[in-house]
Every structure is written in structure tokens, then in C-alpha cells.
Amino acid sequence: MDASGRGLLPEDEATHLTRVLRLGVGAAIEVFDGRGGVWTATVAEVSRHEVAVQSGVPVTAPVEPRVRLRLVASALKGDKLDDVVRDAAMVGVHDIQVVVTQRSELSMAALLRSGRAERWRRIAVSSLKQCGRSVLPTVPDPVTLTQWASTEPTGLLLVMCEPAAGQGRRISDVPRAAEVTLVVGPEGGWTPEELALLTELGAVAVKCGGLTLRADAAALVGVAALCEGWQVW
């Protein structure tokens, strides 16, 4: 956006505005910068591939959780990660890192070949538009769990464990941290080596209740439990 508040929509959004919403010059919309800024805006110019908008006054953005939330989500079967990304973007996660684990049924090669990360980034934008959130989570390309671990992640690490494993504290019993990463496993759970690796990184095993959660629902349940248990939303 330039100093006068005029700017071009990203191409995807320009297409969505003209083809799906069928809006034209003069239409009143809201625009957001993905970093918490939201403004009223007017469609100023529509050409074949571009939409220029003139931004107006700032709009009060919805209140984000008072904690920096990162999700490390294991690759799941089929398109299930689409829902995980959509839900995480909705509920206040700041960064969504997909990791390939030993029991993930999708290989790294398949994930990269099919351009999934690009798809997840589009899903995150569309989830924000649907829910009116103004902070866009980053969605880096997938890496293996081992690669992720080698980045020496900072902040509090929480690893979701199956209640049947007999371990795991209630999230509210873990002291609150300003920066937290929730690590969620694949359908088949963690291997002992992976749990050892996470423990070595200092991860605290947590669980949400005594029932077994589906892998594609565990992240949403975990984030909700964390935000309510820590009273940070």
C-alpha cells in the first residue's frame, strides 16, 4: 500500500473479489495486512487481472490470544491437514509447521510434489477472511520432525500424548509461558525414538482428558484447552 493508502490486492483475492463476490468499483470492503492491521476500503479500479483498493480508516481488530502460539502438526492421511490448518488459523495460532514423522503416511516427497504448503497458505488466508482474524499465521514448507528438532526450538514445548499412554499433565497444570509450541502427533502416535527426541528438547507431555482424540482434532482441542486453562483468551 502506498502513502495515500492505495494498493493492489493479491492476485487470488482480486480474482475472488471480481469472480466470486462479483464486486466492482466503489464496493465497500475491509482489507487486512496479515499483521493485525484492518482497514475499511473501497474498490478503486478493476482491470483484467488486478484490483486496486483505496484504504480508509482503521477498524478495531479482533483480540488475539495473549500468548505466542506455534503448532507443530504431524502430516496426516489425505487432506486432513487442510482442516488442521484452517482450524489453527481460526483459533489464534501464529505459526503452523507441518512435520513428517515416522508414522506419517504421507512422505516428504509427496508433500513437496503436490504443493501442499502453498495450498495450506491459501487455506490460512481463507480461514482468516471467514472468521475476521487479522493476524496471518506463517506456514513454512514441511520438514521432518528431526529437521525441526535440529532448529533448537525456543519457548515452552508441549507434546500432546494419548491418554492410554498413561503419561501427560493437564495443560493448566503446566506453568504459563509467553511463547509456546504445541506438538501434535500423527494417527499412529509417536514412536519411542520420537518421544525420546522431544523429551531431550525439554518437551512437557500433556493430555486433554481421558478419551482418545482423532489426530485431526487434537490440535484444535489442545489450543482451546491451553487458552482457557491459562486464561490467555
Binding mask 197-216 toward a second copy (x if CB under 8 A, else -) reads: -----------xxxxxxx--
171 binds a second copy (CB under 8 A): yes
Closest-CA residue to 96 (of 122, 64, 63): 122
Reduced to 3 states (helix: H, G, I; strand: E, B; else coil), residue 8 is: strand
**Least spacing, CB of residue 51 vs a second copy, in Å:** 25
* Residue 233 contacts a second copy per CB under 8 A: yes
Is residue 174 involved in binding a second copy (CB under 8 A)?
A: no
Whose Cβ is closer to a second copy: residue 46's or residue 205's? Answer: 205
CA quadruple 20, 21, 26, 31: dihedral sign: negative
Please, which residue, 92 or 142, has the CB nearer to a second copy?
A: 92
Contact indicator for 71, 50 with CB cutoff of 8 Å: no
**Number of residues located near a second copy, criterion CB under 8 A:** 36
Out of 15, 107, 130, 150, the only residue in the binding site for a second copy (CB under 8 A) is 130
Chain-centre distance for alpha carbon 198: 21
Q: Decide whether 155 or 163 has the Cβ nearer to a second copy.
A: 163
Q: How far apart are CA 46 and CA 130, in angstroms?
A: 23
Contact call for residue 224 and a second copy (CB under 8 A) = yes
Determine the Cα–Cα distance for residues 53 and 27; give it in Å rounded to an integer: 10
Looking at the Cβ atoms of 54 and 126, the one nearer to a second copy is 126
- What is the bridge-based pairing of β-strands 6-8 and 51-58? antiparallel
Partnered with residue 42 across adjacent β-strands are 28, 54
CB of 170 vs a second copy, minimal distance in Å = 7
Least distance in angstroms from the C-beta of 216 to a second copy: 10
Give me the 73-92 binding string for a second copy, x by CB under 8 A, dash otherwise. --------------x--xxx
Residue 229 in the binding site for a second copy (CB under 8 A): yes
**Helix, strand, or coil here: 95?**
strand
Look at residues 66, 84, 63, 86 and name the one whose alpha carbon lies nearest to residue 75. Answer: 84
- The span from the CA of 203 to the CA of 165, in Å, is 16
CA nearest neighbour of 24 among 40, 49, 47 = 47
217: contact with a second copy by CB under 8 A = yes
Q: Which of 10, 36, 132, 202 binds a second copy (CB under 8 A)?
A: 132
Binding site for a second copy (CB under 8 A): 62-65, 87, 90-92, 130-133, 163-164, 170-172, 208-214, 217, 220-222, 224-229, 231, 233
